[in-house]
Amino acid sequence: MTRIGFIGVGNMGGPMARNLIDAGHEVTAFDLSPMALDATVAAGATAATSAADAASGVEVVITMLPAGQHVRGVYLDDGGILGAAAAGTLFIDSSTIDVDSARAVAKAAGEAGFEMLDAPVSGGVGGAEAGTLTFMCGGSEDAFARAKPLLDVMGKTIVLAGPSGNGQAAKICNNMILGASMIAVSEAFVMAEKLGLDHQKLFDISSTASGQCWAMTSYCPVPGPVPASPANRDYQAGFTAAMMAKDLRLAQEAAQSVRAATPLGAAAAAVYSLFENAGNGEVDFSGVIRMIRGEK
């Protein structure tokens, strides 16, 4: 049994914390949203009165917050969790944030004598609930070894990608591939429609030919060929277009900071910003095919 402080128990953090509780760990939770906190307390957590309160007297602190500014605030502000934790506490940040913030917070944790892992996830709310998330980790081998038994409770694939920030780097590289490939697959299906080529025929050919990719074979943006894909339930998310737009913006920030040429990543970021700004933020990201088709 490990004593864990869990800060940010929203759509992802809530089920992650519940899986830790179900595995026999003692979880003290904090969230600015009383509704999110109450749901986690109902699942067996103890309520903390602040982030610092959740981080004191525990062995491991896990944060699952919206963006870099929230993570910097919770860790680094006056009254932040680095000042409240006991010596030897391990910090794991599973939020998806910019690489610079991840490295800045890990550096501050290191200077305060703590080990820290950035450990963003993929797999969405379904993966969080089922305990099948993929964790992409950045930090030391030692921090990874300490975190692994807990990450194993919440996930299925746990990878150390290198030093601090590399978990976030892996996450945005992956999602840049995903965003660009979903747009490419969507363009191909819409062009097929105009050329009189049946969706299923294109799928049967491309899914076993050189156009094969995850956006085609696991998350097909037209209904029919992949029955589990959101296209079959009116693009109910899944992974929202707003989340994809966020990750593509993070990828562009990172690309600019290291002068990486990512013209397709930039185009994908622009397409998803347009889609989000047209009121589709909560739609599944594969719904972008509707905009490509010229629908609303």
First to last CA, the chain: 52
Residue 11, interface with ligand NAD (CB under 6 A)? yes
Distance CA 226, CA 55 (A): 44
Please name every residue paired with 60 in a beta bridge, in sequence order, or none if there are none: 4, 90
Min dist. Cβ of residue 69 to ligand NAD (A): 9
Among 4, 5, 13, 17, binds ligand NAD (CB under 6 A): 13
Q: What residues contact residue 237 under an 8 Å CB cut-off, 6+ apart?
A: 230, 282, 283, 284, 285
Q: Which is nearer to ligand NAD, 70 or 146 (CB)?
A: 70
Q: Which is nearer to ligand NAD, 30 or 114 (CB)?
A: 30
Catalytic annotation present for 171? yes
Site for ligand NAD in 80-109 (CB under 6 A): 95-96
- Catalogue the E-assigned strands of the chain: 3-7, 26-30, 46-47, 60-63, 90-93, 115-118, 121-122, 133-137, 155-160
Return the closest-CA partner of residue 266 out of 246, 254, 252, 256. Answer: 252
- Interface region with ligand NAD, contact rule CB under 6 A, candidates 39-47, 58-66, 205-213, 279-287: 58-66
Distance CA 119, CA 134 (A): 9
Min dist. Cβ of residue 128 to ligand NAD (A): 8
Residue 66, interface with ligand NAD (CB under 6 A)? yes
Residue positions annotated with a catalytic role: 171
Q: Which residues bind ligand NAD (CB under 6 A)?
A: 7-8, 10-13, 30-33, 36, 51, 64-66, 70, 73-74, 95-96, 121-122, 124-125, 239, 243, 246
